[in-house]
Amino acid sequence: MKNLKILILLLSVCLVSCEDSLWGIPLETWKQARGSGNFSFLWNLNLKSQNIEDLKILGPGAFYTLGSLFENQNIPESARILWEGSLKYDPVPYSLWAYRDLAQVNLKSRNYESLEAISRQARFIFPEDPEIWRDFMEALYWQKKDRDFLTHLDAGLGMKLTPEKNREMVLFKAVVHSRLGMVEAPMLWKQFLELESSRLHYRAYTFFEEDQKRYQILSELEGQKMVLKALVSEKKGQEVWKRFPKIHDQDELWKSLADFFDWEKFFIQAGQIPLGIKTFEKHLYNSLGEHKSTLEFLLYRLNLQVGRKGAAESWLLKSLNSAAGDREVSRSLTALLNFYLQKSPVQFIEILEKYASEKTLAALDGLLDSAKAQFVRTRRWDLLVRGWKKVAYFASDTTKASWAWVILRGGDYGLLPSSETLTQASDFKIRILQWAPLSYSAFMVRAMNGVRWSPPSNPVSTTPEENPGVFAPYQDLLDYGLAYKAYLKLWNGNDLVPVGILKKTAVRLHEQGYYLESQRLMIRAAARDPGALSTEDWKYRYPLAFDDLIRKSAAQAKVAADLFRGLVREESFYDHKISSPVGAVGLSQLMPATGESMKKILRLDPLASLTDPEVNLQIGSAYFSQRMKDLGSPAKALMAYNAGQGRVRSWIREFGQLPVELFVEACPFEETRNYVKKIFSTVSIYQGLYSPEEKETALSLIYPGLR
C-alpha cells in the first residue's frame, strides 16, 4: 500500500512536470521565444523523434508558424513535417496557408507524387477550393495517372479558376484523352485550337512532335493550325513558312479573332508582310462584315510595319468607322490618336473633339499626357486649350489636374492664345487641389502659394473596425518574427483584408528592415481607405530609412539631403538589394558600368559591392552631383539621372528656352517626366512630415528661383 502511494505521487509529479514543458523544453522558454522571436533552441531538434501532436498545447497556428520558422532557417524537412501537421491540426487559415506553401515547394521541385498526396489530403478538408483541385489534377496529369484524372474531372465542374489555369486544363484534358485513345480527343483538341496562341500551344506541339503518329488525331488543317499557333507563340513564324509555304491560302484557318492575330504575327515573323496585306484584304472582302473592324485594324498595323503611312491611316479610319462595341472603338481610337499625335497634332485634336467621351478618355491618361507634352514642346498652346475643353469633362481627375496646371503656368507666362482662357484659369488652383490633392500638380500649386503639405491631423477611417479573429493569424506571424511571411500572405492574398492588418504588418516589416514591403502595404492601405492614415502611418509610407548614410553621402557630394532622399526613395523604396530589369543595382539604382567608373573617380575599393548601402549612396550622390554641375539645374539633373545626360542636352537644344517647370512638362519621355514629378512630390511629403519649419522647400530645391 505504501509503495502504491509513492508510485501515485511520482506519477503526479511527472504529469505536472510534463505539463510545464514541451519536448523537454520548459513552456516558459517557448513563451519567451514568442515574445523575442528567438527560437534558436529548436534548430537542432530531430522532429521525427518528437510527437508532433504535442504542439497543440501552444495554441492555434503553432504548427504553421513553427514550420515557417524552420523554412527561414533553411531546414526544409522540419518545415515540411510541421506544415503537414498544420494541415491536420491547425484551423483555417493556418492549415490552408500550410497547404499553399507545401504545394509551392512541390511544384517548384516537380515532386508530383508528394503534390498528389498533400492535395488529396487537402481536398477532404477544403472540397470546394478550386486551386487545391487544380493542383491535384496537375499532379495526376504529370504522373500520367490518366484514369484517375478522368475519375476526378467532374469534381471541378463549376469551380472558378484563373483564365490561364482554365486554358491549361483544356490542354490537360486533350492530352489525357489522347493518351487513352478516347474518341473525345479530337473534339477537345479542336476546342484547344480555338484559344489564343500562347506557350501552351508550344507545349501541345511538343506532345505531337514526340510521336508523329499523334497527328492522326487531328485533321490535316488542324495539324497545320497547331504548328502555326505553337511556333508563332515562340516567334518562329519563319519555320512555319518553310514547312507550309501555302498555309495562308487555307481559308479554314481564318475563322476567329484569335486566328487573325496569329496570322498578323506569322506574316511579320516570316518576313512576308506584303503577302500578309494582300491575304488580309482578300479575307476582309470575303468576311461579309464579320470582324470587319478587326481585319481593318490589323491591315493598319501591317501597312505601318512597311512604312505605308497613307494606307495605314486609311485602314485605321475605316476600322474606327466599322467599330462595334466599346472595346473595338477604344482600340481603334487609341491607335488613331497615337497616329495623329505623331503625324498631325491638329487632326489629333479634331479626332479628340469628335469622339471624346467618358468611356473613351478615362483610360487614356498616358496618351493625353504625351499629347500635352508635345503641345508644350512645339508651343501649340492653341491646341492645348482646345484639347482641354474635352479633357475637363471626360478625362480622369489626375489628367485634369495635370492639364490645368500646365494651362495655369502658360497663362502666368502669357503664352495662352486668349484672355478668355486666362480668366478661366483663375480658379484652376482650387480645382487642382480638389481633383488630385496628392498629385504633382497639387504639390506645385501649394508650393507656389507658399503652403506646405501636411498629413491629416484627424484621420477618419471609412472601413469597419477590425475583427480580432481575422487579425489573430497575422498577429501570430508577427509575434513569431515572421513579418515577411505575413507580407506575402497579404500581398498575394485577399484584397479585402482589413486596413488595420495592412498597417500593423507594415509597421513590423519596417522594424525588421523590410522597407520596400512596408511601404507597399501602407500604400495599399491608403488606396483602400485614404482617410485612415495617421501622421505616424504616413511616416511608414515615407520612412527615414538609411537616414544617417543619406545625410552623410549627400553632404560629401554637396547635394541637399532632402533632394537626394527623394531620389533614393523613388529609385529603390530603400531596398538595398534590388535590381532592375535593365541591371540597375541598389539604393540609388546604379548601372554596373557607372558604378565602376565612379569607383575610380572616388578612389573606392574596386571590389566594393553596389548592394552595400554606404557604397551605393556615396556613388549615387556623387554621380547626381556631377549632373547638377554639368547641367546647372536640379530638375534637369534629375532628368539626366533617369534618361541620360546626352538626351537632356539634346532636349535643351530643342526646347531648352522654356521655363524649367515647362521644360519638364515638355519632355518626350513619359517615364522621365513622371520621375521628376514623383521626386518633387516625395520631397514635399518628407518635408511636411519631418521638417515643416525647414526654410528649404521642394520648390527651392528642384526649381530654385521659381516664383
Active site residues: 571
Residue 672: closest CA among 691, 688, 649, 648: 648
Give the whole-angstrom CA distance, residue 146 versus residue 174: 11
What does the radius of gyration of the chain's CA atoms come to, in whole angstroms? 32
Residue 439: closest CA among 425, 453, 451, 458: 453
Angle at 465 between CA 462 and CA 467, to 5 degrees: 140
Q: Which residues contact 681 (CB under 8 A, 6 or more apart)?
A: 438, 439, 440, 443, 698
3-state SS assignment for residue 575: coil
Give the whole-angstrom CA distance, residue 690 versus residue 693: 9
Give the whole-angstrom CA distance, residue 529 versus residue 433: 19
Hey, how many other C-beta atoms are within 10 angstroms of the C-beta on 416? 21
For residue 537 the three cell numbers come to: 502611418
Three-state secondary structure string covering 138-165: HHHHHCCCHHHHHHCHHHHCCCCCCHHH
Using a 10 angstrom Cβ sphere, with 0-12 exposed, 13-18 middle and 19 or more buried, the burial of residue 125 is middle
DSSP 579: B
Give the whole-angstrom CA distance, residue 362 versus residue 400: 11
Beta bridge partner(s), residue 26 = 21
- List C-alpha distances in Å: 566 to 337, 570, 632, 638, 687: 35, 6, 19, 11, 10
Answer whether 481's CB lies under 8 Å from 509's CB.
no
Beta bridge partner(s), residue 21 = 26
Answer whether 241's CB lies under 8 Å from 210's CB.
no
Preceding omega of 543 cis (within 30 degrees of 0): no
Give the whole-angstrom CA distance, residue 195 versus residue 444: 49
Phi and psi based region of residue 317 (left: phi greater than 0; alpha: psi -120 to 50; beta: remaining): alpha
Residue 444: closest CA among 646, 699, 679, 205: 699
Answer whether 502's CB lies under 8 Å from 489's CB.
no
Answer whether 487's CB lies under 8 Å from 461's CB.
no
Using a 10 angstrom Cβ sphere, with 0-12 exposed, 13-18 middle and 19 or more buried, the burial of residue 460 is exposed
Using a 10 angstrom Cβ sphere, with 0-12 exposed, 13-18 middle and 19 or more buried, the burial of residue 465 is exposed
- How many Å separate Cα 444 from the centre of its chain? 28
DSSP 612: S
Give the whole-angstrom CA distance, residue 473 versus residue 482: 11
Hey, how many other C-beta atoms are within 10 angstroms of the C-beta on 87? 22
- H-helix or E-strand spanning residue 508: helix 499-511
